Structures are given as C-alpha cells and as structure tokens.
C-alpha cells in the first residue's frame, strides 16, 4: 500500500460518517442575530474559558465583511463584547466519499469546506487593519480549527505586514500545521522573503524539520528555486547537507526539481550559493542519483557546468544502472530550448561514457530535433556505420528543418570521416578524462582549442 493511502471497511466508513454527523449537530452554529444576542447576554466580557469551543458562523454578512476587508463593517460586527474567535464555515461544493453500508460507494458533492477564522481570512488577504482590530478584540492568535494557523496563512499568501503583526501578538513562529509544516516551510514564493525574515527575527528555528518529508526550510527554498531565501537561511546557520526522507540534501532538491526555461537562472543561482557555501556534490538520494544525475535529467546546462567544475563524478551509476549521459539523452526531445547539446558536450569533455554504437539509431530517433546534440554525440566517434535505419529515424519534417546538417550526416554512408576529425579524435582519446584541464593550457589558437572541445559547426565532416 502506498504512503498516504488507507483502507476502510464499509462499516468503518459508516461509523465515521455517523460520528461526523453528530459532531456537526453538536457544533454551536449560530446566525448573525443569535451572535448579537449572545454578545448582549455576555455583557462586555470577551473572555472565554479554555474548555468552551469557539462558535461556528455561517452568516454571510459577517463573511462578506471579512473577505472584502471592509474595516468599518468589521469594526461594527466585531464590536466590544462580540466574540472575535468565531470559526467560519464557508459554503461551497466539495467532494467526499459516501457509502451505503454495502461494498458500493461513490463520491458525492457536499457543501463543506475547510474551517477558518476571521484572523485567517484577513491575514491571508493582507487586510492588516482588519487583522489588527481583531487582535485588539482578543482573537486567539494561534487558533487553528482547520489545521493551520493564521501565521501559516499570511506566509503562504506572502503577506509580510500581517505576518509581522501576528508575530508581534505572540503568534508561534514554529507552530506545526496539519501537514507537519512550520511557517518557514510554507514560504515558497519569491514574494515571501520578507515573511521569512520576520519569522527568523521572532525565533523561527532555521533547521526545523517538516513532519511529513523531513524537509528543512533550506530544502524548501532550494526546491522552489528561491535564491534570496537560500542566502538568508545560509546567513542564519542553515545546515547544508541534511538529508530528507528521500535522501535529498538542499542541493539535490534544487537539482531534482523540474524547471521551465524561465526558472533556469534562479535554480542556477541557488546551486551556486549552496556549492559556494560548501554543499557536498557527491551525496546521492535513495535511488543513488547525484545532483549531476538530476541536473542532467532536468536539462540545466549551467548547473551541470558548475557540478563538473567541482569534480562531480561523470560516470556514477544510479540504482537503475544509468549515468548522467543517459539522463540528458532522455530529456533532449522535451527541452530543446534548454540547450541540451551543451550538457552532452560538457559530459563528453569530462570523460563521460559514450552510447553503444548499435544504439545510435535509437538515440537519433529521439534526439533528432536537436541536431547540435547529435553533432556533439557523433563527434566522439572516429567512424560511423550509417545505415537505412539512421535515415528512417529522422522524420521528413525534421529533416527539412535541419536539412544542411542531416545531409552532411547521411553523406557519410559513402565516405569516411575527415582527416581533421580523425586527428581530433586521436588527441581526445589520448587525453580522455583530462581534456578539460589540459586543452585550455595548450599553446594553440582558440579555434583549435574549441575544435578539440567539440565546438558546434552545424554539420558533420
């Protein structure tokens, strides 16, 4: 059974439904009129005993005042003597599992949503003055009827002023929500940086672990590509090489996260910060994948260059028997705009294993949309046995789009590689594993150095 799943018998489901029904009947659900009546009967006292449960409010007038941030309406509703610790139960469609007591069951649309409070609503929407009024009226700052605190809500929604106000009123900076996360763990957006600063200033534990995945805030910031958060946490003593339940360090987390083209630069900055601070680039996850495996899989050439420059092992195998070269070749077709050819070129220059020649037609089939990748890959061989299978591997539309390159490749069916290429191959073979150190120091023109390092020409010769 997978993690997070559970098994219920029909009788168990029926018992749970009955219990939930009884709890709903017992909840003190009251209208706006009855709330005001309750307030009058209590006089001016706003104090509640610990044992007294907060009242549940479905009054749309109250909800409208809170959700729109109408300060005057909030002040009028939550006047002196009126309880500020209401539990708001918004009305809306939600799916839940219903059983008829037999084996059968179905998902049914009900009108129950997660419980919230006036503090949560105003904190999450940035209504600072409304939030201040509620706090002055004695609202419990750490109340969490839906499993999360108002501070979590403010941080998750990137509302730094609300987060700071809650902390000033003694909100717990290390409160744990129903997902096992502290407020620092929900700072997952670029705009949440100020929230993170306030949390640390008010005592948030920098190396706190989430209960579900054992992540630290540094893991979270690295996984979401937040360089300023990473820099902040490192300056406050975040541990670099702690591993979560999947065996990932913060560096592994950054490298393993899927990245679109727009976010490549952010993740590169994160990795530079972590490596510069001393992150171990050789730690692998539970599948024995290193940061280099992951950076190749997600096609981030700048991170691959960084890891290779810091002596990452180019031929390390994971539990599936795959090296970083396998990972990049699998991702070429999906991320051509990420410049996968740069990664193939770099891996080969650092001594990566090559593709078994018999498998080259298959590689051509899946990577043909990136002719530069094919060029770098094929220039690592001194000879190529091109057959009809090679020609058939390239779709006509791809051939037409990159006609010059593929005409030069398929012309090799009738001629050998050039003498120039053979000389390059011989020298590369002699320097294998040392190319990246030796070639830059050779007394050769830049053109020849680039040629030795598989510079792209746009054709095969």
Buried/exposed code over 414-440 (b: 16+ C-beta within 10 A; e: otherwise): eeebeeebeebbeebeebeeebeeebe
Residues 221 and 302 in one domain: yes
Task: List the structure tokens of 21.
Answer: 């029904």
State which of 157, 180, 205 marks the end of a domain: 205
Edge to edge, what strands does the sheet with 56-57 contain?
A: 29-30, 56-57, 87-88
Local structure of 141: helix, strand or coil? coil
Residues 2 and 74 in one domain: yes
Buried/exposed code over 234-251 (b: 16+ C-beta within 10 A; e: otherwise): bebebebebbbebebbbb
Residues 158 and 254 in one domain: no
Q: DSSP code of 380? A: T
According to DSSP, the β-strands at 105-110 and 94-99 are antiparallel
Q: 81-85, 103-107, 376-380, 396-400: which range is least confident on average?
A: 103-107
Strands (E), 156-221: none
Share of the chain residues as helix, strand and coil, in percent rounded to the nearest 5: 50, 5, 45
Residue-level length of the chain: 461
- Does position 94 have pLDDT exceeding 70, yes or no? no
Q: How far is CA 121 from the centre of its chain?
A: 26
**CA dihedral sign, ordered 37, 41, 43, 48:** negative
State which of 353, 368, 387 marks the end of a domain: 353
- Does position 451 have pLDDT exceeding 80, yes or no? yes
Phi, psi of 94 (to 5 degrees): -150, 150
Residues 187 and 243 in one domain: no
pLDDT in tens, 197-213: 999 999 999 999 999 89
Residue 143 lies in a domain: yes
State which of 353, 369, 398 marks the end of a domain: 353
Residues 163 and 20 in one domain: yes
Please say whether the beta carbons of 38 and 30 come within 8 A: yes
Structural domains counted in the chain: 3
Residue 1 lies in domain: 1-205
Residues 104 and 149 in one domain: yes
What distances in angstroms separate CA 443 from CA 92, 423, 438, 447, one per listed residue?
Answer: 73, 17, 10, 12
| Average confidence (pLDDT) over 368-392 | 95
Report how far residue 202's alpha carbon sits from residue 365's, in angstroms, rounded to the nearest whole number.
57
pLDDT in tens, 335-345: 999 999 999 99
Residue 343 lies in a domain: yes
Res 269: pLDDT: 98
Residues 296 and 158 in one domain: no
Res 36: pLDDT: 42
Please say whether the beta carbons of 394 and 364 come within 8 A: yes
Report how far residue 94's alpha carbon sits from residue 91's, in angstroms, rounded to the nearest whole number.
9
Please say whether the beta carbons of 191 and 148 come within 8 A: no
Residues 377 and 290 in one domain: no
Res 219: pLDDT: 98
Mean pLDDT, the chain, integer: 86
When comparing pLDDT for 26 and 302, which is higher?
302
């Amino acid at each position: 059974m997978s993690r997070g799943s559970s098994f219920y018998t029909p009788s168990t489901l029926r018992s749970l439904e009955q219990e939930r029904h009884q709890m709903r009947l017992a909840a003190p659900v009251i209208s706006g009129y009855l709330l005001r009546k309750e307030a009058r009967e209590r006089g001016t006292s706003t104090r509640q005993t610990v044992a007294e449960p907060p009242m549940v409010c479905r009054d749309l007038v109250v909800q409208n005042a809170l959700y729109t941030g109408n300060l005057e309406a909030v002040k009028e509703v939550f006047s002196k003597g009126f309880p500020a610790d209401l539990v708001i139960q918004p009305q809306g469609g939600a799916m839940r599992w219903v059983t008829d007591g037999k084996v059968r069951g179905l998902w049914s649309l009900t009108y129950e949503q997660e419980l919230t409070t006036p503090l949560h609503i105003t904190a999450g929407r940035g209504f600072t003055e409304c939030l201040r009024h509620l706090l002055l009226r004695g609202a419990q700052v750490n109340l969490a009827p839906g499993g999360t605190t108002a501070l979590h809500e403010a941080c998750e929604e990137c509302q730094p002023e609300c987060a700071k106000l809650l902390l000033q009123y003694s909100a717990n900076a290390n409160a744990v929500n129903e997902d096992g996360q502290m407020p620092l763990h929900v700072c997952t957006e670029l705009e949440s940086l100020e929230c993170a600063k306030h949390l640390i200033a008010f005592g948030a534990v920098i190396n706190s672990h989430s209960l579900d995945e054992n992540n630290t805030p540094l893991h979270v910031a690295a996984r979401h590509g937040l360089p300023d958060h990473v820099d902040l946490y490192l300056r406050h003593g975040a541990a670099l090489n702690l591993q979560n339940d999947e065996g990932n360090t913060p560096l592994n987390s950054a490298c393993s996260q899927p990245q679109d083209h727009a976010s490549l630069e952010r993740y590169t900055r994160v990795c530079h910060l972590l490596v510069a601070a001393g992150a171990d680039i050789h730690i692998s996850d539970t599948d024995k994948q290193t940061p280099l495996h992951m950076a190749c899989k997600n096609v981030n050439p700048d991170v691959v260059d960084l890891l290779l420059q810091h002596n990452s092992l180019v031929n390390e195998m994971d539990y599936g028997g795959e090296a970083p070269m396998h990972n990049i070749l699998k991702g070429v077709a999906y991320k051509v705009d990420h410049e996968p050819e740069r990664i193939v070129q770099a891996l080969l220059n650092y001594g990566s294993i090559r593709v078994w020649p018999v498998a080259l037609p298959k590689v051509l089939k899946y990577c043909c949309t990136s002719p530069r990748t094919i060029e770098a890959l094929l220039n690592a061989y001194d000879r190529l046995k091109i057959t009809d299978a090679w020609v058939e591997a390239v779709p006509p539309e791809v051939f037409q789009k990159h006609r010059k390159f593929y005409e030069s490749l398929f012309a090799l069916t009738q001629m050998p590689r050039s003498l120039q290429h053979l000389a390059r191959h011989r020298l590369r073979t002699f320097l294998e594993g040392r190319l990246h150190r030796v070639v830059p120091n050779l007394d050769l023109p830049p053109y020849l150095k680039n040629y030795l390092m598989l510079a792209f020409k746009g054709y095969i010769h």
